[in-house]
Amino acid sequence: MTSNSRQDDLSPTRMADTEILRGPGGETHQVAQGDTPVLTTQQGIPVSDDQNSLRVGPRGPTLLEDFHFREKLFHFDHERIPERVVHARGFGAHGFFETYESLSDITRADLFQRKGERTPVFVRFSTVAGNKGSPDVPRDVRGFATKFYTKEGNWDLVGNNIPVFFIQDAIKFPDFVHAAKQEPDRGFPQAQTAHDNFWDFVSLSPESMHMLLWIMSDRTIPRSFRFMEGFGVHTFQLVNAERKSTLVKFHWKPKLGLQSVVWNEALKLNGADPDYHRRDLWTAIEKGDYPEWEMGLQLFDEDFANKFPFDVLDPTKIIPEEMVPVRRVGRLVLDRNVENFFAETEQVAFCTQNIVPGIDFTNDPLLQGRNFSYLDTQLKRLGSPNFTQLPINAPKAPVENFQQDGHMAFRNVKGRANYEPNSWGLGPRESQERGFRTRPQEESGQKLRIRAELFADHYSQARQFYLSQTPIERTHIKNAFVFELSKVETAAIRLRMVSHLRNVDEDLAQQVADGLGLEQMPEAAPPARPVVTGLPESPALSIIRNGPKTFAGRKIGVLVTDGVDAGLLSALREAAQAEGTMVELVAPKVGGVTTSDGTRIPAQQKVNGGPSVLYDAVAVLPSQEGAALLAREATAKDFVSDAYAHAKFIAYVDAATPLFEKAGVTEPNGGFVRLQSPRDARSFIEACRELRFWEREAAVQAV
């Protein structure tokens, strides 16, 4: 090297001046570089594009040769052990899937061939961001992963309770999760997104806007796993025996209807019972009140996909149910709790790549990346390629191959031949008739790091989701944005988020700005594609509009004392039982109370350990003497005041008046049912079918 060489100028790890960067939606950013290091791989190779994985054409499949994408996900998949990187806090149960009819016209998948066919399943519900020890009811997406043990192998439908996702390309998944998790310099906050890193990332990623409207809605604080929907998120293919393909999106519809909690209630639930969701599911199954969902399919063809105003390969988009109705084809029933949490719930390994003949992938770039990633992460977490032989993961169909050895091998090849083809006539052979065959598809295009043009519309469906909510749900979304962004310390991030919300709805943006105390509104963020403002409302997107028809599966907390009216209590229990509703007694002492007829009955909760947030509705049935005592008990007053503030239906007797007055509830009106005779108990249960008396929440907030 000569003395006048300029090695520093040639270094790939330094840049000077400025550079024009092009974002996923085509938007451009001028970045001052100076001494900013160039992004490189672990091998020091400069990276030209960290936003898009390499694919064949704008809508083609992701290429295996993309070494940067492979290395990035490989490192991410191996970051933590043994806890899952995401979905660490989970709870599972066994059950079955039963088909309503043969679907042989659209798929050759064996589990869909025969009416009434029952396929064993294992389902794991989970939060995404929190660690294993985090509470059950943070504001978070819920995983809804189902392993079908079919006669032709295992099919894993690895979905969420929200049908879209934050990112469009799996190359961004490590960045998204890093931003949502604890900030690395301090190790907190966890199980929440109300911090700078998360909002910095999403405010710089317009593709996240649709998902942000979902997670700021009540969808992310469900009342129970039993009352939430599930979605496969991606577009898949169903393939029949003639190799004809039908595009499909998978749905799970809870038979008990949709229901969530309110934010203040969620905060208190996490303190009162951090295991609230898992306890709820466990108890329901143990009591024989088996949770059920119906599987729904949105079926469409390539012609529809090509005419649809958004790209069906974009995981940040939905197809509204009003446009393509959901066809219900079977039911999922969970009827058995696990016997060993670690062996089953913790060791279960879901992989999106696990599909069976009759189901196939599409070129959804996020799905393609997940298929690539899951095997790696399960190997790291469970420590051996033989994790598939663990009982919870092992297929119930015969397994015949020549794979052998390795850590924890339960099954090994016997005899001379451990390869094929072999001359000894030993071992299994492939079958063109029965084997999985990828549906032939022509793919062409240049190798490019690029996304399809329609992927760049980041606001239209976010707007559609918001406008499809009821007024009370819109208020909850606004409040959630204000709460989360109030925790963001960097003012520029708050401004940036409001600039995006202006493309969703001006009223929403203004309300959030007012809630944050912004002195002036920022300019709207320039959209990469024009916002489509005329999309019709979709009632299917609202929780309140899709609630239950009965109060079945819910729980009433009854606050009682010695001297409780035996007839009224008995009538309430009978009405609840007829509806399929649970009743728990909350008393000054867990040993129970003596009723007005001298009967001693046990309680399920002590008053300072059974707050009203644990229940879907409450009844306050003290004796006159008991009410006077409860009026001096802070937690008894909280029981009433919280139920009131959370808009729950409240049954009461006149003797409760002193307690109501101490709790600040001076004039029981809407949402209250006065119990004077046994027939009033039935009226109370019928009122509870509405789940909440929302008019009261609006009044409480206005005070």
Q: Classify residue 295 by burial, with Cβ atoms within 10 Å: 0-12, 13-18, 19+.
A: buried
Structural domain includes residue 646: yes
Q: For tokens 């899709």, name the residue.
A: 546
Q: Are 623 and 651 in contact (CB under 8 A)?
A: no
Beta-carbon contacts of 122 under 8 Å, excluding residues fewer than 6 positions away, are 92, 93, 94, 95, 146, 147, 149, 344, 348, 392
Q: What angle do CA 617, 602, 585 make, to 5 degrees?
A: 5
Task: State the pLDDT at residue 305.
Answer: 97
Active site residue 87: yes
Which pLDDT score is estimated for 26?
54
DSSP code of residue 161: S
Nearest to 361 by CA among 183, 176, 158, 207: 158
Long-range contacts formed by 174-180: CB under 8 A, 24+ apart: 174/72, 174/73, 174/75, 174/76, 175/201, 176/201, 176/205, 177/76, 177/85, 177/86, 180/128, 180/129
Bridge pairing between strands 582-587 and 605-606: parallel
In a domain, 65, yes or no: no
pLDDT at residue 34, rounded to an integer: 59
CA distance 475 to 485: 15
Burial of 303 (0-12, 13-18, 19+ CB in 10 A): exposed
Q: Does 576 reside within a domain? A: yes
pTM value is: 0.90
Burial 262-283, CB ≥16 within 10 A → b, else e: bbebbbbbbebbbebbbebbee
DSSP-based three-state secondary structure for 334:
strand
Please state whether the peptide bond connecting residue 184 to the residue before it is cis, i.e. omega within 30 degrees of 0: no
How many domains in the chain?
2
Helix (H, G, I), strand (E, B) or coil at 283: helix
Indicate whether 658 belongs to any domain.
Answer: yes
Give pLDDT tens digits for 617-629: 999 999 999 999 9
CB-CB neighbours of 101 under 10 Å = 13
Is residue 618 domain-resident? yes
Burial 192-230 (b: 16+ CB within 10 A, else e): bbbbebbbbbbbebbbbbbbbbbbbbbbbbbbbbbbbbb
Task: Count Cα neighbours of 38 within 13 Å in the Cβ-side half-sphere.
Answer: 21
Domain that holds residue 10: 6-38
How many degrees, rounded to 5, is the angle at CA 369 between CA 368 and CA 375? 105
* CA pair distance 164, 383, nearest whole angstrom: 31
| pLDDT lower than 50: segments of the chain | 1-16, 24, 31-32, 703
Q: What does the pLDDT read at residue 11? A: 40
Residues β-bridged to residue 651: 619, 673
For residue 455, being part of any structural domain is answered with no
Instruction: Decide if 367 contacts 376 (C-beta within 8 A).
Output: no
Separation of alpha carbons 207 and 171, rounded Å:
14
CA distance 444 to 451: 15
Question: CB of 136 within 8 A of CB of 277?
Answer: yes
Which pLDDT score is estimated for 443? 86
Task: For 187-228, write each residue's pLDDT tens digit.
Answer: 999 999 999 999 999 999 999 999 999 999 999 999 999 999
Which amino acid belongs to residue 491? A
Q: Which DSSP state fits 616? A: S
Phi, psi of 615, deg, nearest 5: -125, 155
| Contact call for residues 505 and 462 (beta carbons, < 8 A) | no
Q: What pLDDT does 18 receive? A: 52
Q: What are phi and psi of 580, to 5 degrees?
A: 85, 30
pLDDT value of residue 1:
37
- Dihedral sign, CA of 649, 653, 654, 659? negative
CB burial of 479-503 (b: ≥16 within 10 Å; e: otherwise) equals bbbbebbeebeeeebbbbbbbbbbb
DSSP 486-542: HT---HHHHHHHHHHHHHH-HHHHHHHHHHHT-SSPPPPPPPSS-----PPP-GGG-
Q: Is residue 626 part of a domain?
A: yes
Q: Give strand pairing partners of 123.
A: 93, 146
Residue 474 forms part of a structural domain? no
CA dihedral 309, 310, 311, 316 (to 10 degrees): -170
| Cα-based distances in Å from 100 to 252, 330, 355, 368 | 14, 5, 21, 31
Q: What is the rounded distance in angstroms from the CA atom of residue 228 to the CA atom of residue 140?
A: 13
Cα 545 from Cα 472, distance rounded (Å) = 11
Q: Decide: 671 and 648 in contact? Cβ < 8 Å.
A: yes
- Catalytic residue check, 393: no
The strand ranges marked E within 187-254 are 230-231, 236-239, 245-254
Active-site annotation holder among 87, 94, 234, 458? 87
| 42, 46, 48, 52 alpha-carbon torsion, rounded to 10° | 0
The answer to whether the peptide bond before residue 421 is cis (omega within 30 degrees of 0) is yes
Task: Point out the catalytic residue in the list 52, 160, 371, 479.
Answer: 160
